[in-house]
Chain A
């Protein structure tokens, strides 16, 4: 099965649901990714999904979508493009070390235990120049032990 079809299966949509897109491109006009001077057009992505064409992992929308739902708010059909993008990221397996650490914590404790996430993502954070922000982040620090959620 093509990756796009697997992605659609993860959302609340079916492929034919995207046929309603009128091509008005209002999603593109409000898209936050375009504030980054990257040319992106969510409407084109919807068209690809409807036609069963692949959407690449390095498509700017797939990489940089912030999940702000401005597109959904503007869309005449309120299509939830960020949900589709998240599904595409999942099938492309492009999650960042931070996201892996986040899911790792949820798998162990059932909750996000931030000290664990920071430790596990430490090489990425060191390389990515995050250390210089630590002074500003002092107010976020606190000591507490993880709570383990009971398995149900």
Chain B
């Protein structure tokens, strides 16, 4: 299947690993991601004017019109902004986590399992809230870990805030919030959001922080992914 792809600014820069991971996972499953031509920034959380913010994503939807009906946006902020701007539900703006369903795993070629390894799946905020833009399956990461024999930890903190949004404003806020989460997590922290990745990584010490796509690639047999 061919999807419209909205990488967003982070995935072309600091979150290049997530971009490559998503593309690899989709390619292995026989799906194509085709970038929305000449897309612009979604505005993330930086604009106080709701109309101005929606304007960015409306432009992107305009650029997708006629090319794609289903748009995949991995960055939680981009995903939320695109979905909110699509007021008439003209497009299916989808987060990749909602595509990792039974059919996906049935078609997936497994190379490795996760036996003996502990993981804390961490969703953060925007994938789970507000309700109207939340992902459909909010247990997909723990289901994946359990399905392949790994131990799931840290369930109480999966939806807490890492403070990533404040990392370049009030770093001490991010440090305190990320440490609260890290203290209650065990093993490898699995995230999807580029900002959560950065917040966790900055304060995680020796602990490993990986993208969910790294986990999938490892299960698919890519040793070096974790």
- Tell me the A residues contacting B by CB distance below 8 Å: 7, 10-12, 32, 35-36, 63-64, 66-70, 72-73, 78, 80, 83, 86-91, 95-96, 98-99, 102-103, 105-106, 110-114, 121, 125, 128-130, 133, 136-137, 139-142, 144, 147, 149-150, 152
Contacts and interface: CB of A to CB of B under 8 A. Distances in A.
A83 B50 CA distance: 8
A136 B178 CA distance: 15
Given A35-B177, A35-B180, A140-B198, A68 B43 contact: no
B176 A64 contact: no
Contacts, number: 134
B139 interface: no
Interface in B138-183: 159-161, 163-166, 168-171, 173, 176-177, 180
Interface stretch (B25-33, B90-98, B125-133): B125-133
- Chain B interface residue number, banded: 35 or more
Nearest to A37: B176
Contacts of A147: 12
Contacts of A91: 48
Nearest to A150: B38
B38 A69 contact: no
Given A72-B129, A103-B46, A110-B40, A66 B165 contact: yes
A7 B50 CA distance: 11
B23 to A, nearest CB: 15
25 contacts: A32-B161, A32-B163, A35-B177, A66-B166, A66-B173, A68-B165, A90-B49, A91-B48, A111-B9, A111-B12, A111-B41, A114-B9, A114-B13, A114-B14, A121-B168, A128-B171, A129-B171, A130-B168, A136-B201, A136-B202, A137-B14, A139-B201, A140-B15, A144-B12, A149-B39
A139 B46 contact: no
Interface of B: 9-10, 12-17, 38-41, 43-51, 59, 62, 124-126, 128-131, 159-161, 163-166, 168-171, 173, 176-177, 180, 198, 201-202
A73 B131 contact: yes
Contact of B125 (A68, A89, A112, A136): A68
Interface of B is mostly: loop
B173 A64 contact: yes
Nearest to B54: A12
A98 B130 contact: no
B170 A63 contact: yes
Contacts of A68: 124-125, 129, 161, 165
Contact of B129 (A70, A86, A133): A70
A102 B46 contact: yes
B168 A96 contact: yes
A112 B47 CA distance: 14
A70 B126 CA distance: 10
